[in-house]
Structure 1
Protein backbone atom coordinates (compact mmCIF):
# COMPACT_ATOMS: atom_id res chain seq x y z
CA UNK A 1 0.00 0.00 0.00
CA UNK A 2 1.13 3.59 -0.72
CA UNK A 3 0.78 4.63 2.90
CA UNK A 4 2.92 1.75 4.18
CA UNK A 5 5.73 2.47 1.75
CA UNK A 6 5.80 6.22 2.39
CA UNK A 7 5.73 6.23 6.17
CA UNK A 8 4.05 4.73 9.17
CA UNK A 9 0.67 5.26 7.57
CA UNK A 10 -2.63 6.71 8.69
CA UNK A 11 -3.04 4.01 11.38
CA UNK A 12 0.15 5.24 13.06
CA UNK A 13 -1.41 8.70 13.37
CA UNK A 14 -5.08 8.01 13.96
CA UNK A 15 -5.10 4.37 15.15
CA UNK A 16 -6.72 3.55 18.52
CA UNK A 17 -3.41 2.30 19.95
CA UNK A 18 -1.40 5.39 19.06
CA UNK A 19 -2.69 8.45 20.90
CA UNK A 20 0.85 9.83 21.16
CA UNK A 21 1.35 9.72 17.40
CA UNK A 22 -2.07 11.31 16.89
CA UNK A 23 -1.25 14.19 19.21
CA UNK A 24 2.13 14.67 17.59
CA UNK A 25 0.65 14.71 14.10
CA UNK A 26 -1.93 17.29 15.14
CA UNK A 27 0.80 19.53 16.50
CA UNK A 28 2.94 19.15 13.39
CA UNK A 29 -0.02 20.00 11.20
CA UNK A 30 -0.59 23.25 13.08
CA UNK A 31 3.06 24.24 13.11
CA UNK A 32 4.03 23.15 9.62
CA UNK A 33 1.08 24.85 7.91
CA UNK A 34 -1.91 23.38 6.16
CA UNK A 35 -0.14 21.90 3.16
CA UNK A 36 -1.11 18.34 4.11
CA UNK A 37 -4.78 19.28 3.84
CA UNK A 38 -4.56 20.81 0.39
CA UNK A 39 -6.96 19.64 -2.29
CA UNK A 40 -5.88 16.01 -2.43
CA UNK A 41 -9.19 14.26 -1.90
CA UNK A 42 -9.96 11.62 -4.47
CA UNK A 43 -13.01 11.94 -6.67
CA UNK A 44 -15.19 8.97 -7.53
CA UNK A 45 -13.33 6.53 -9.76
CA UNK A 46 -9.93 8.15 -9.26
CA UNK A 47 -6.97 6.06 -8.17
CA UNK A 48 -4.00 7.15 -6.14
CA UNK A 49 -0.67 5.99 -7.55
CA UNK A 50 2.99 6.18 -6.62
CA UNK A 51 5.30 8.18 -8.88
CA UNK A 52 9.07 8.58 -8.63
CA UNK A 53 9.82 12.01 -7.24
CA UNK A 54 12.26 12.72 -10.07
CA UNK A 55 9.41 12.54 -12.59
CA UNK A 56 7.42 15.25 -10.79
CA UNK A 57 8.06 18.87 -11.72
CA UNK A 58 6.77 22.10 -10.19
CA UNK A 59 4.11 24.20 -11.84
CA UNK A 60 5.73 27.12 -13.67
CA UNK A 61 2.54 29.11 -13.05
CA UNK A 62 2.79 28.66 -9.29
CA UNK A 63 2.07 32.10 -7.77
CA UNK A 64 4.11 31.37 -4.66
CA UNK A 65 7.74 32.21 -5.37
CA UNK A 66 9.09 32.31 -1.80
CA UNK A 67 8.95 29.23 0.42
CA UNK A 68 9.64 29.52 4.15
CA UNK A 69 12.61 27.24 4.72
CA UNK A 70 11.86 26.73 8.41
CA UNK A 71 8.30 25.62 7.70
CA UNK A 72 9.49 23.36 4.89
CA UNK A 73 11.90 21.68 7.31
CA UNK A 74 9.07 21.19 9.82
CA UNK A 75 6.89 19.66 7.10
CA UNK A 76 9.79 17.47 5.98
CA UNK A 77 10.14 16.15 9.56
CA UNK A 78 6.43 15.37 9.64
CA UNK A 79 6.75 13.51 6.35
CA UNK A 80 9.75 11.52 7.63
CA UNK A 81 7.65 10.36 10.57
CA UNK A 82 4.25 9.81 8.98
CA UNK A 83 4.62 9.93 5.21
CA UNK A 84 2.62 12.10 2.82
CA UNK A 85 -0.95 12.04 4.11
CA UNK A 86 -2.62 13.75 1.14
CA UNK A 87 -1.62 12.88 -2.45
CA UNK A 88 -0.50 15.60 -4.83
CA UNK A 89 -2.78 16.59 -7.71
CA UNK A 90 -0.84 16.43 -10.97
CA UNK A 91 -1.38 16.41 -14.71
CA UNK A 92 0.58 14.40 -17.26
CA UNK A 93 3.20 16.29 -19.25
CA UNK A 94 4.73 13.75 -21.63
CA UNK A 95 6.82 11.40 -19.48
CA UNK A 96 6.64 13.82 -16.54
CA UNK A 97 3.98 14.95 -14.09
CA UNK A 98 3.33 18.63 -13.42
CA UNK A 99 2.06 19.67 -10.00
CA UNK A 100 -1.32 21.35 -9.94
CA UNK A 101 -1.67 21.31 -6.14
CA UNK A 102 0.89 20.30 -3.54
CA UNK A 103 4.23 21.90 -4.39
CA UNK A 104 5.12 22.43 -0.72
CA UNK A 105 4.62 18.72 -0.06
CA UNK A 106 6.83 17.90 -3.05
CA UNK A 107 9.60 20.23 -1.81
CA UNK A 108 9.36 18.92 1.74
CA UNK A 109 9.34 15.30 0.52
CA UNK A 110 12.59 15.97 -1.36
CA UNK A 111 14.11 17.34 1.85
CA UNK A 112 12.87 14.26 3.68
CA UNK A 113 14.65 12.04 1.17
CA UNK A 114 11.56 10.28 -0.27
CA UNK A 115 11.98 8.58 -3.62
CA UNK A 116 8.26 8.25 -4.43
CA UNK A 117 5.13 10.30 -3.83
CA UNK A 118 1.41 9.48 -3.94
CA UNK A 119 -0.36 11.41 -6.69
CA UNK A 120 -3.76 11.68 -8.30
CA UNK A 121 -3.54 12.33 -12.04
CA UNK A 122 -6.22 14.57 -13.48
CA UNK A 123 -6.72 15.49 -17.11
CA UNK A 124 -6.59 19.29 -17.05
CA UNK A 125 -5.90 21.47 -20.06
CA UNK A 126 -3.17 24.10 -19.64
CA UNK A 127 -5.55 26.97 -18.95
CA UNK A 128 -7.66 25.09 -16.41
CA UNK A 129 -4.60 23.71 -14.61
CA UNK A 130 -3.12 27.18 -14.26
CA UNK A 131 -6.38 28.66 -13.02
CA UNK A 132 -6.85 25.88 -10.45
CA UNK A 133 -3.24 26.21 -9.26
CA UNK A 134 -3.54 29.97 -8.79
CA UNK A 135 -6.92 29.86 -7.06
CA UNK A 136 -5.87 26.94 -4.84
CA UNK A 137 -2.82 28.89 -3.67
CA UNK A 138 -4.81 32.07 -3.08
CA UNK A 139 -7.31 30.18 -0.93
CA UNK A 140 -4.47 28.77 1.19
CA UNK A 141 -3.97 32.39 2.40
CA UNK A 142 -0.22 32.02 3.08
CA UNK A 143 1.02 33.80 -0.04
CA UNK A 144 2.89 37.01 0.69
CA UNK A 145 0.98 40.18 -0.32
CA UNK A 146 2.94 40.65 -3.55
CA UNK A 147 2.41 37.05 -4.68
CA UNK A 148 -1.29 37.35 -3.90
CA UNK A 149 -1.63 40.60 -5.86
CA UNK A 150 0.22 39.12 -8.84
CA UNK A 151 -2.00 36.04 -8.72
CA UNK A 152 -5.11 38.24 -8.85
CA UNK A 153 -3.62 40.24 -11.72
CA UNK A 154 -2.85 37.05 -13.64
CA UNK A 155 -6.44 35.80 -13.31
CA UNK A 156 -7.86 39.15 -14.39
CA UNK A 157 -5.63 39.66 -17.42
CA UNK A 158 -5.25 36.09 -18.70
CA UNK A 159 -8.76 34.85 -18.05
CA UNK A 160 -10.73 38.01 -18.69
CA UNK A 161 -12.43 37.90 -15.30
CA UNK A 162 -14.01 40.97 -13.76
CA UNK A 163 -13.14 41.82 -10.18
CA UNK A 164 -16.63 40.69 -9.13
CA UNK A 165 -16.16 37.29 -10.82
CA UNK A 166 -12.70 36.91 -9.31
CA UNK A 167 -14.00 37.79 -5.84
CA UNK A 168 -16.63 35.08 -6.18
CA UNK A 169 -14.14 32.42 -7.32
CA UNK A 170 -11.66 32.99 -4.50
CA UNK A 171 -14.28 33.77 -1.83
CA UNK A 172 -12.96 37.26 -1.11
CA UNK A 173 -14.57 40.67 -0.92
CA UNK A 174 -14.08 42.79 -4.01
CA UNK A 175 -12.53 45.54 -1.87
CA UNK A 176 -9.90 43.04 -0.68
CA UNK A 177 -8.93 42.31 -4.28
CA UNK A 178 -8.94 46.00 -5.25
CA UNK A 179 -6.68 46.93 -2.33
CA UNK A 180 -4.38 44.02 -3.14
CA UNK A 181 -4.04 45.02 -6.80
CA UNK A 182 -3.19 48.61 -5.82
CA UNK A 183 0.02 47.33 -4.23
CA UNK A 184 1.41 46.60 -7.69
CA UNK A 185 1.59 50.36 -8.31
CA UNK A 186 4.47 50.57 -5.83
CA UNK A 187 8.09 50.67 -6.95
CA UNK A 188 10.00 47.35 -7.28
CA UNK A 189 12.22 48.24 -4.30
CA UNK A 190 9.17 48.65 -2.07
CA UNK A 191 7.58 45.44 -3.38
CA UNK A 192 10.80 43.61 -2.47
CA UNK A 193 10.55 44.85 1.13
CA UNK A 194 6.92 43.74 1.24
CA UNK A 195 7.76 40.34 -0.26
CA UNK A 196 10.55 39.82 2.29
CA UNK A 197 8.23 40.65 5.18
CA UNK A 198 10.19 43.77 6.16
CA UNK A 199 6.97 45.77 6.01
CA UNK A 200 3.30 44.83 6.18
CA UNK A 201 0.47 45.34 3.73
CA UNK A 202 -0.78 48.13 6.01
CA UNK A 203 2.56 49.93 5.64
CA UNK A 204 2.37 49.51 1.87
CA UNK A 205 -1.15 50.94 1.70
CA UNK A 206 0.01 53.95 3.71
CA UNK A 207 2.84 54.47 1.21
CA UNK A 208 0.33 54.46 -1.65
CA UNK A 209 -0.99 57.74 -0.28
CA UNK A 210 2.31 59.42 -1.20
CA UNK A 211 2.29 60.72 -4.76
CA UNK A 212 6.03 61.41 -5.00
CA UNK A 213 7.95 58.27 -6.00
CA UNK A 214 11.28 59.40 -4.52
CA UNK A 215 9.67 60.28 -1.20
CA UNK A 216 7.83 56.95 -1.18
CA UNK A 217 11.08 55.01 -1.61
CA UNK A 218 12.83 57.10 1.04
CA UNK A 219 10.10 56.50 3.62
CA UNK A 220 9.90 52.79 2.78
CA UNK A 221 13.64 52.39 3.40
CA UNK A 222 13.31 54.14 6.73
CA UNK A 223 10.31 51.96 7.58
CA UNK A 224 12.30 48.78 7.00
CA UNK A 225 15.34 50.12 8.85
CA UNK A 226 13.56 51.55 11.91
CA UNK A 227 10.49 49.25 11.98
CA UNK A 228 8.10 52.18 11.83
CA UNK A 229 4.39 51.76 12.56
CA UNK A 230 1.69 52.43 9.97
CA UNK A 231 0.71 55.57 11.90
CA UNK A 232 4.30 56.83 11.78
CA UNK A 233 4.40 56.32 8.02
CA UNK A 234 1.15 58.24 7.62
CA UNK A 235 2.69 61.07 9.67
CA UNK A 236 5.84 61.12 7.54
CA UNK A 237 3.67 61.16 4.42
CA UNK A 238 1.80 64.22 5.68
CA UNK A 239 5.06 65.96 6.54
CA UNK A 240 6.45 65.14 3.11
CA UNK A 241 3.39 66.52 1.35
CA UNK A 242 3.60 69.68 3.46
CA UNK A 243 7.29 70.21 2.64
CA UNK A 244 6.62 69.56 -1.04
CA UNK A 245 3.82 72.15 -1.06
CA UNK A 246 6.02 74.63 0.78
CA UNK A 247 8.90 73.98 -1.61
CA UNK A 248 6.62 74.41 -4.60
CA UNK A 249 5.34 77.70 -3.21
CA UNK A 250 8.89 78.86 -2.57
CA UNK A 251 9.98 77.91 -6.09
CA UNK A 252 7.00 79.74 -7.59
CA UNK A 253 7.90 82.79 -5.51
CA UNK A 254 11.49 82.75 -6.78
CA UNK A 255 10.26 82.42 -10.37
CA UNK A 256 7.96 85.43 -9.96
CA UNK A 257 10.80 87.46 -8.48
CA UNK A 258 13.15 86.51 -11.32
CA UNK A 259 10.50 87.44 -13.90
CA UNK A 260 9.92 90.80 -12.21
CA UNK A 261 13.66 91.60 -12.24
CA UNK A 262 13.89 90.61 -15.91
CA UNK A 263 10.95 92.90 -16.76
CA UNK A 264 12.54 95.84 -14.91
CA UNK A 265 15.83 95.32 -16.77
CA UNK A 266 14.02 95.13 -20.13
CA UNK A 267 12.07 98.31 -19.29
CA UNK A 268 15.36 100.17 -18.69
CA UNK A 269 16.84 99.01 -21.98
CA UNK A 270 13.73 99.92 -23.96
CA UNK A 271 13.46 103.31 -22.23
CA UNK A 272 17.07 104.07 -23.10
CA UNK A 273 16.56 102.98 -26.72
CA UNK A 274 13.21 104.73 -27.31
CA UNK A 275 13.76 107.80 -25.16
CA UNK A 276 10.36 107.53 -23.48
CA UNK A 277 8.63 105.81 -20.57
CA UNK A 278 8.10 102.04 -21.03
CA UNK A 279 6.11 99.75 -18.71
CA UNK A 280 5.90 95.94 -18.76
CA UNK A 281 2.95 94.63 -16.74
CA UNK A 282 2.95 90.83 -16.07
CA UNK A 283 -0.37 89.18 -15.19
CA UNK A 284 0.30 85.53 -14.40
CA UNK A 285 3.94 84.99 -15.29
CA UNK A 286 3.00 84.06 -18.85
CA UNK A 287 0.88 86.93 -20.15
CA UNK A 288 0.95 90.71 -19.71
CA UNK A 289 1.04 93.98 -21.58
CA UNK A 290 3.70 96.40 -22.89
CA UNK A 291 3.02 100.14 -22.55
CA UNK A 292 5.06 102.74 -24.51
CA UNK A 293 4.16 106.38 -23.91
CA UNK A 294 4.33 109.15 -26.53
CA UNK A 295 3.59 112.85 -26.10
CA UNK A 296 2.77 114.14 -29.57
CA UNK A 297 2.10 112.89 -33.12
CA UNK A 298 5.69 113.67 -33.94
CA UNK A 299 6.90 111.66 -30.92
CA UNK A 300 4.77 108.71 -32.05
CA UNK A 301 6.27 108.92 -35.53
CA UNK A 302 9.77 108.97 -34.02
CA UNK A 303 9.09 105.86 -31.87
CA UNK A 304 7.54 104.05 -34.85
CA UNK A 305 10.67 104.79 -36.87
CA UNK A 306 12.88 103.38 -34.13
CA UNK A 307 10.75 100.23 -34.02
CA UNK A 308 10.92 99.95 -37.85
CA UNK A 309 7.12 100.00 -38.07
Structure 2
Protein backbone atom coordinates (compact mmCIF):
# COMPACT_ATOMS: atom_id res chain seq x y z
CA UNK A 1 0.00 0.00 0.00
CA UNK A 2 2.91 2.33 0.89
CA UNK A 3 4.39 1.85 -2.58
CA UNK A 4 1.13 2.80 -4.23
CA UNK A 5 0.92 6.03 -2.21
CA UNK A 6 4.56 6.84 -3.03
CA UNK A 7 3.94 6.29 -6.75
CA UNK A 8 0.90 8.58 -6.72
CA UNK A 9 2.83 11.22 -4.79
CA UNK A 10 5.64 11.04 -7.34
CA UNK A 11 3.14 11.58 -10.12
CA UNK A 12 1.76 14.66 -8.40
CA UNK A 13 5.27 16.00 -7.82
CA UNK A 14 6.20 15.65 -11.48
CA UNK A 15 2.93 17.25 -12.46
CA UNK A 16 3.82 20.28 -10.37
CA UNK A 17 7.27 20.35 -11.93
CA UNK A 18 5.74 20.47 -15.41
CA UNK A 19 3.54 23.40 -14.42
CA UNK A 20 6.55 25.46 -13.40
CA UNK A 21 7.37 27.88 -16.28
CA UNK A 22 11.04 27.75 -15.30
CA UNK A 23 11.08 24.01 -16.00
CA UNK A 24 9.36 24.02 -19.39
CA UNK A 25 10.70 20.84 -21.00
CA UNK A 26 10.76 20.93 -24.78
CA UNK A 27 13.43 18.38 -25.65
CA UNK A 28 15.06 15.33 -24.14
CA UNK A 29 18.19 17.39 -23.39
CA UNK A 30 16.38 19.98 -21.23
CA UNK A 31 16.85 20.11 -17.49
CA UNK A 32 14.69 17.58 -15.59
CA UNK A 33 13.63 15.93 -18.86
CA UNK A 34 15.07 12.65 -17.62
CA UNK A 35 12.77 12.82 -14.58
CA UNK A 36 9.62 13.29 -16.63
CA UNK A 37 9.99 11.55 -20.01
CA UNK A 38 8.90 7.93 -19.69
CA UNK A 39 7.51 8.43 -16.17
CA UNK A 40 3.88 8.14 -15.10
CA UNK A 41 2.62 11.66 -14.44
CA UNK A 42 -0.80 12.83 -13.28
CA UNK A 43 -1.83 15.33 -15.95
CA UNK A 44 -4.83 17.64 -16.01
CA UNK A 45 -7.29 16.19 -18.51
CA UNK A 46 -8.05 19.73 -19.70
CA UNK A 47 -4.42 20.10 -20.81
CA UNK A 48 -4.61 17.11 -23.20
CA UNK A 49 -5.88 17.50 -26.76
CA UNK A 50 -7.02 14.66 -28.99
CA UNK A 51 -4.45 13.34 -31.42
CA UNK A 52 -5.29 14.50 -34.97
CA UNK A 53 -3.53 11.37 -36.25
CA UNK A 54 -5.92 9.06 -34.38
CA UNK A 55 -7.09 6.39 -36.85
CA UNK A 56 -10.10 5.33 -34.77
CA UNK A 57 -13.25 7.24 -35.66
CA UNK A 58 -15.96 5.00 -34.18
CA UNK A 59 -16.44 4.71 -30.43
CA UNK A 60 -19.16 2.51 -28.96
CA UNK A 61 -20.97 4.62 -26.39
CA UNK A 62 -22.14 1.62 -24.35
CA UNK A 63 -18.60 0.28 -24.13
CA UNK A 64 -17.32 3.73 -23.13
CA UNK A 65 -19.93 3.94 -20.38
CA UNK A 66 -18.88 0.53 -19.05
CA UNK A 67 -15.25 1.65 -19.02
CA UNK A 68 -16.23 4.90 -17.27
CA UNK A 69 -18.01 2.90 -14.55
CA UNK A 70 -14.92 0.73 -14.12
CA UNK A 71 -12.69 3.81 -13.89
CA UNK A 72 -14.94 5.31 -11.19
CA UNK A 73 -14.46 2.18 -9.09
CA UNK A 74 -10.86 1.19 -9.86
CA UNK A 75 -9.24 4.22 -11.46
CA UNK A 76 -7.28 4.21 -14.73
CA UNK A 77 -5.32 0.96 -14.65
CA UNK A 78 -3.22 1.60 -17.75
CA UNK A 79 -1.82 5.12 -18.28
CA UNK A 80 -2.38 6.91 -21.57
CA UNK A 81 0.58 8.10 -23.68
CA UNK A 82 0.99 11.76 -24.62
CA UNK A 83 3.59 13.97 -26.22
CA UNK A 84 4.50 17.38 -24.85
CA UNK A 85 3.24 20.05 -27.23
CA UNK A 86 3.79 23.32 -25.39
CA UNK A 87 3.93 24.62 -21.86
CA UNK A 88 1.40 22.58 -19.89
CA UNK A 89 -0.14 21.38 -23.17
CA UNK A 90 -0.08 17.79 -24.38
CA UNK A 91 -1.27 15.82 -27.36
CA UNK A 92 -2.66 12.31 -27.03
CA UNK A 93 -0.69 9.56 -28.76
CA UNK A 94 -2.66 6.54 -27.56
CA UNK A 95 -5.46 5.83 -25.10
CA UNK A 96 -8.36 7.88 -26.47
CA UNK A 97 -10.96 5.43 -25.09
CA UNK A 98 -9.43 5.77 -21.61
CA UNK A 99 -9.33 9.55 -21.94
CA UNK A 100 -12.95 9.78 -23.10
CA UNK A 101 -14.15 7.40 -20.39
CA UNK A 102 -12.20 9.32 -17.72
CA UNK A 103 -13.99 12.51 -18.77
CA UNK A 104 -17.32 10.67 -18.56
CA UNK A 105 -16.36 9.46 -15.08
CA UNK A 106 -15.72 13.03 -13.99
CA UNK A 107 -11.95 12.71 -13.47
CA UNK A 108 -9.88 15.90 -13.54
CA UNK A 109 -6.50 14.21 -13.96
CA UNK A 110 -5.29 11.03 -15.65
CA UNK A 111 -2.05 9.03 -15.32
CA UNK A 112 0.06 9.56 -18.43
CA UNK A 113 3.34 8.52 -19.98
CA UNK A 114 5.04 11.57 -21.47
CA UNK A 115 6.93 11.36 -24.73
CA UNK A 116 8.78 14.06 -26.64
CA UNK A 117 8.20 13.39 -30.32
CA UNK A 118 7.84 15.24 -33.59
CA UNK A 119 4.71 14.97 -35.70
CA UNK A 120 6.04 12.06 -37.74
CA UNK A 121 7.00 10.09 -34.65
CA UNK A 122 3.64 10.91 -33.09
CA UNK A 123 1.80 9.70 -36.18
CA UNK A 124 3.83 6.49 -36.30
CA UNK A 125 3.34 5.75 -32.60
CA UNK A 126 -0.39 6.50 -32.73
CA UNK A 127 -1.07 4.35 -35.79
CA UNK A 128 1.12 1.42 -34.78
CA UNK A 129 -0.22 1.49 -31.21
CA UNK A 130 -3.81 1.41 -32.38
CA UNK A 131 -3.29 -1.24 -35.05
CA UNK A 132 -1.61 -3.54 -32.54
CA UNK A 133 -3.70 -2.99 -29.45
CA UNK A 134 -7.25 -1.97 -30.28
CA UNK A 135 -10.20 -3.45 -32.10
CA UNK A 136 -10.24 -1.11 -35.07
CA UNK A 137 -12.61 -2.12 -37.85
CA UNK A 138 -10.97 -3.40 -41.08
CA UNK A 139 -11.43 -0.10 -42.92
CA UNK A 140 -9.82 1.90 -40.10
CA UNK A 141 -6.88 -0.51 -40.15
CA UNK A 142 -6.62 -0.18 -43.94
CA UNK A 143 -6.67 3.62 -43.68
CA UNK A 144 -3.98 3.47 -40.99
CA UNK A 145 -1.75 1.36 -43.22
CA UNK A 146 -2.35 3.69 -46.16
CA UNK A 147 -1.54 6.72 -44.03
CA UNK A 148 1.73 5.20 -42.85
CA UNK A 149 2.67 4.53 -46.46
CA UNK A 150 1.68 8.00 -47.70
CA UNK A 151 2.90 10.25 -44.89
CA UNK A 152 5.96 8.37 -43.63
CA UNK A 153 6.89 6.87 -46.99
CA UNK A 154 6.91 3.27 -45.75
CA UNK A 155 6.82 0.37 -48.16
CA UNK A 156 4.61 -2.63 -47.41
CA UNK A 157 7.74 -4.57 -46.42
CA UNK A 158 8.85 -1.83 -43.99
CA UNK A 159 5.35 -1.57 -42.59
CA UNK A 160 5.28 -5.34 -42.10
CA UNK A 161 8.37 -5.07 -39.89
CA UNK A 162 7.00 -2.03 -38.05
CA UNK A 163 3.62 -3.46 -37.08
CA UNK A 164 4.55 -7.15 -36.93
CA UNK A 165 2.11 -8.27 -39.62
CA UNK A 166 2.68 -10.33 -42.76
CA UNK A 167 2.99 -8.33 -45.97
CA UNK A 168 0.11 -10.34 -47.47
CA UNK A 169 -2.10 -9.36 -44.52
CA UNK A 170 -1.32 -5.69 -45.05
CA UNK A 171 -1.99 -6.02 -48.79
CA UNK A 172 -5.39 -7.62 -48.12
CA UNK A 173 -6.41 -4.70 -45.88
CA UNK A 174 -5.23 -2.10 -48.40
CA UNK A 175 -7.26 -3.74 -51.19
CA UNK A 176 -10.43 -3.00 -49.22
CA UNK A 177 -9.95 0.69 -50.00
CA UNK A 178 -10.74 -0.11 -53.66
CA UNK A 179 -14.29 -1.06 -52.70
CA UNK A 180 -17.20 1.25 -53.37
CA UNK A 181 -17.55 3.72 -50.43
CA UNK A 182 -21.01 2.33 -49.61
CA UNK A 183 -19.48 -1.13 -49.13
CA UNK A 184 -16.64 0.28 -47.03
CA UNK A 185 -19.28 1.84 -44.78
CA UNK A 186 -21.06 -1.53 -44.63
CA UNK A 187 -17.87 -3.17 -43.37
CA UNK A 188 -17.31 -0.43 -40.78
CA UNK A 189 -20.89 -0.76 -39.53
CA UNK A 190 -20.69 -4.54 -39.37
CA UNK A 191 -23.27 -5.33 -42.05
CA UNK A 192 -20.72 -7.46 -43.89
CA UNK A 193 -17.35 -8.92 -42.93
CA UNK A 194 -13.89 -8.35 -44.31
CA UNK A 195 -14.23 -11.77 -45.98
CA UNK A 196 -17.26 -10.51 -47.92
CA UNK A 197 -15.29 -7.43 -48.94
CA UNK A 198 -12.32 -9.48 -50.13
CA UNK A 199 -14.65 -11.49 -52.37
CA UNK A 200 -16.39 -8.41 -53.82
CA UNK A 201 -13.11 -6.61 -54.55
CA UNK A 202 -12.47 -9.10 -57.37
CA UNK A 203 -15.08 -7.16 -59.36
CA UNK A 204 -13.91 -3.78 -60.70
CA UNK A 205 -17.33 -2.37 -61.65
CA UNK A 206 -18.62 -0.45 -58.60
CA UNK A 207 -22.24 -0.77 -59.74
CA UNK A 208 -21.90 -4.55 -59.80
CA UNK A 209 -20.12 -4.43 -56.42
CA UNK A 210 -23.04 -2.47 -54.96
CA UNK A 211 -25.58 -4.89 -56.43
CA UNK A 212 -23.83 -7.88 -54.85
CA UNK A 213 -23.48 -5.99 -51.55
CA UNK A 214 -27.24 -5.40 -51.39
CA UNK A 215 -27.88 -9.09 -52.12
CA UNK A 216 -25.54 -10.08 -49.27
CA UNK A 217 -27.30 -7.81 -46.79
CA UNK A 218 -30.87 -8.56 -47.89
CA UNK A 219 -30.40 -12.33 -48.13
CA UNK A 220 -27.85 -12.67 -45.29
CA UNK A 221 -25.41 -14.44 -47.63
CA UNK A 222 -22.27 -16.11 -46.31
CA UNK A 223 -18.77 -15.40 -47.60
CA UNK A 224 -18.92 -18.65 -49.60
CA UNK A 225 -22.24 -17.60 -51.14
CA UNK A 226 -20.66 -14.26 -52.06
CA UNK A 227 -17.68 -15.96 -53.68
CA UNK A 228 -20.13 -18.05 -55.75
CA UNK A 229 -21.96 -14.88 -56.87
CA UNK A 230 -18.67 -13.30 -57.91
CA UNK A 231 -17.67 -16.42 -59.84
CA UNK A 232 -21.06 -16.49 -61.53
CA UNK A 233 -20.56 -12.87 -62.61
CA UNK A 234 -17.10 -13.56 -64.03
CA UNK A 235 -18.32 -16.67 -65.86
CA UNK A 236 -21.02 -14.57 -67.50
CA UNK A 237 -18.40 -12.09 -68.69
CA UNK A 238 -16.33 -14.70 -70.52
CA UNK A 239 -16.75 -14.72 -74.35
CA UNK A 240 -18.64 -17.74 -75.64
CA UNK A 241 -16.43 -20.33 -77.29
CA UNK A 242 -16.71 -20.52 -81.05
CA UNK A 243 -18.65 -23.50 -82.42
CA UNK A 244 -16.17 -26.11 -83.55
CA UNK A 245 -16.52 -27.22 -87.17
CA UNK A 246 -17.29 -30.83 -87.72
CA UNK A 247 -14.66 -32.83 -89.52
CA UNK A 248 -15.21 -32.72 -93.29
CA UNK A 249 -17.76 -29.86 -93.11
CA UNK A 250 -15.69 -27.51 -95.33
CA UNK A 251 -15.46 -28.08 -99.07
CA UNK A 252 -13.70 -26.70 -102.13
CA UNK A 253 -15.82 -24.13 -104.03
CA UNK A 254 -13.22 -23.25 -106.61
CA UNK A 255 -14.64 -25.15 -109.59
CA UNK A 256 -18.27 -24.26 -108.88
CA UNK A 257 -17.37 -20.59 -108.32
CA UNK A 258 -15.58 -20.49 -111.69
CA UNK A 259 -18.53 -22.15 -113.47
CA UNK A 260 -20.97 -19.70 -111.81
CA UNK A 261 -18.91 -16.71 -112.96
CA UNK A 262 -18.87 -18.04 -116.52
CA UNK A 263 -22.64 -18.64 -116.52
CA UNK A 264 -23.59 -15.25 -114.99
CA UNK A 265 -20.94 -13.21 -116.74
CA UNK A 266 -19.76 -11.68 -113.45
CA UNK A 267 -17.37 -12.83 -110.74
CA UNK A 268 -19.56 -14.02 -107.84
CA UNK A 269 -18.03 -14.05 -104.34
CA UNK A 270 -18.50 -17.31 -102.43
CA UNK A 271 -17.76 -17.58 -98.69
CA UNK A 272 -18.03 -20.77 -96.65
CA UNK A 273 -17.95 -20.86 -92.82
CA UNK A 274 -16.29 -23.57 -90.75
CA UNK A 275 -19.65 -25.22 -90.10
CA UNK A 276 -20.34 -25.61 -93.85
CA UNK A 277 -22.77 -22.72 -94.17
CA UNK A 278 -22.05 -19.83 -96.51
CA UNK A 279 -23.30 -17.11 -98.85
CA UNK A 280 -22.95 -16.04 -102.48
CA UNK A 281 -22.60 -12.35 -103.39
CA UNK A 282 -23.35 -11.43 -107.04
CA UNK A 283 -22.39 -7.90 -108.17
CA UNK A 284 -24.18 -6.00 -110.98
CA UNK A 285 -23.32 -2.81 -112.88
CA UNK A 286 -26.78 -1.41 -113.66
CA UNK A 287 -30.49 -2.05 -113.54
CA UNK A 288 -30.24 -3.70 -116.93
CA UNK A 289 -27.38 -5.89 -115.74
CA UNK A 290 -29.40 -6.79 -112.62
CA UNK A 291 -32.40 -7.79 -114.81
CA UNK A 292 -30.08 -9.86 -117.01
CA UNK A 293 -28.70 -11.79 -114.03
CA UNK A 294 -32.19 -12.40 -112.61
CA UNK A 295 -33.40 -13.76 -115.94
CA UNK A 296 -30.37 -16.10 -116.08
CA UNK A 297 -31.11 -17.40 -112.57
CA UNK A 298 -34.81 -17.89 -113.43
CA UNK A 299 -33.87 -19.63 -116.62
CA UNK A 300 -31.78 -22.10 -114.65
CA UNK A 301 -34.66 -23.05 -112.38
TM-score range, shorter chain: 0.5 to 0.7
Quote the residue 1:206 is aligned against.
199
- For residues 49 and 209 of structure 1, the distance between their equivalents in structure 2, rounded to whole angstroms, comes to 50
Quote the residue 1:81 is aligned against.
73
Quote the residue 1:161 is aligned against.
154
- For residues 82 and 232 of structure 1, the distance between their equivalents in structure 2, rounded to whole angstroms, comes to 47
Q: How far apart are residue 78 of structure 1 and its match?
A: 1.1
Of 26, 41, 48, the residue aligned with 1:56 is 48
Quote the residue 2:176 is aligned against.
183
Quote the residue 2:225 is aligned against.
232
Quote the residue 1:270 is aligned against.
none
Write out aligned runs for 1:87-166 (5 A): 87-94=79-86, 95-166=88-159
* C-alpha contact (below 8 Å) 1:50/1:119 kept by paired residues: yes
3-state DSSP class of the match of 1:67?
coil
- For residues 137 and 153 of structure 2, the distance between their equivalents in structure 1, rounded to whole angstroms, comes to 24
Q: Which one has the bigger helix percentage? A: 1
Distance 1:84-1:65 versus aligned 2 partners, 3 A rule: same
Q: Deviations over 1:40-90 (max 9, x none)?
A: xxx974433222222211101101111122221221111011101222211
Distance 1:111-1:291 versus aligned 2 partners, 3 A rule: farther
Q: How far apart are residue 93 of structure 1 and its match?
A: 2.4
Q: How far apart are residue 221 of structure 1 and its match?
A: 1.7
Q: How far apart are residue 175 of structure 1 and its match?
A: 0.5
3-state DSSP class of the match of 2:83?
strand
Write out aligned runs for 1:8-27 (5 A): none
Quote the residue 1:221 is aligned against.
214
Distance 1:278-1:189 versus aligned 2 partners, 3 A rule: farther
Segments of 4+ in structure 1 off by > 6 A?
276-279
Q: Deviations over 1:175-199 (max 9, x none)?
A: 0001111111101000000111111
- For residues 76 and 223 of structure 2, the distance between their equivalents in structure 1, rounded to whole angstroms, comes to 41
Distance 1:74-1:278 versus aligned 2 partners, 3 A rule: farther
Unaligned runs of 5+ in 1: 8-42, 250-275, 284-289, 300-309
Distance 1:44-1:175 versus aligned 2 partners, 3 A rule: farther
- For residues 107 and 197 of structure 2, the distance between their equivalents in structure 1, rounded to whole angstroms, comes to 40
* C-alpha contact (below 8 Å) 1:91/1:99 kept by paired residues: yes
Distance 1:131-1:228 versus aligned 2 partners, 3 A rule: same
Q: Deviations over 1:3-33 (max 9, x none)?
A: 77xx9xxxxxxxxxxxxxxxxxxxxxxxxxx
Unaligned runs of 5+ in 2: 9-32, 241-265, 274-280, 290-301
Q: How far apart are residue 244 of structure 1 and its match?
A: 4.4
- For residues 160 and 212 of structure 1, the distance between their equivalents in structure 2, rounded to whole angstroms, comes to 30
Query: TM-score, with normalisation over the residues of structure 2?
Result: 0.66
- For residues 224 and 110 of structure 1, the distance between their equivalents in structure 2, rounded to whole angstroms, comes to 37
Query: TM-score, with normalisation over the residues of structure 1?
Result: 0.65
Quote the residue 2:63 is aligned against.
71
Over the residues paired in the alignment, what is the CA RMSD in angstroms? 3.1
